[in-house]
Structure 1
Amino acid sequence: MSTGDELRAAVSARRDLGPEFEDAIVESFLDKMGKEVDRRVDERLAAVKGKKRAGNDGQRLALAIVSLALGTLATVAIVVTSREGGALFLVWAGIALVNLIFSRR
């Protein structure tokens, strides 16, 4: 039943039952409208959460791809120029740390 139908039913009930039942009719109408508002808000919140989740998944994938690409380039550059394992460890530890921080956000 739509909001307009609910209001028409409440007004009709008020006419049929008289003014002594007006408080109960208004309370019933407001309760139904409150539940309808709650339902609509819940639907909108669920839709927003779904959009945020989809956006976060895309951001995580992009970060993972960029991290692997930059990590691979840094690894190649370090191996070709210096062959130092310490620098290589620092590069990958930094990449892992950035990804970990982003995933917890």
Structure 2
Amino acid sequence: MLLTERETDEGLLVSVCDPDILGETFENGQVSLTVEADFYDGERVDEERVVSALARASVANIVGTRAVALAVEHGFVDEATVLELDGTRHAQLVRL
């Protein structure tokens, strides 16, 4: 998976995506998501590193079937909140 971590004034912003969807656009009715390289292209890492980053994140954007499944499996994201977008999945995590 591709992982990017950015420190912001609000805390750690994490973006995770499946590498095979980088640059792709997915739609579902009025919702459209482009997996922009500027935001999602990062270090290629294993699942353990993704889980560690999500555990520390204040905000996370997760896109891709595999990436979202990992976030759900580890309890970071509720399956009911996952968006299905034209063949892939998207989820967000916000800790208040």
TM-score (norm 1): 0.20
Query: Of the two structures, which has the highest relative contact order with CA contacts closer than 8 Å and spacing of 6 or more?
Result: 2
TM-score, length of structure 2 as denominator length? 0.21
**Pair member with larger Rg:** 1
**Where is the strand percentage greater, Structure 1 or Structure 2?**
2
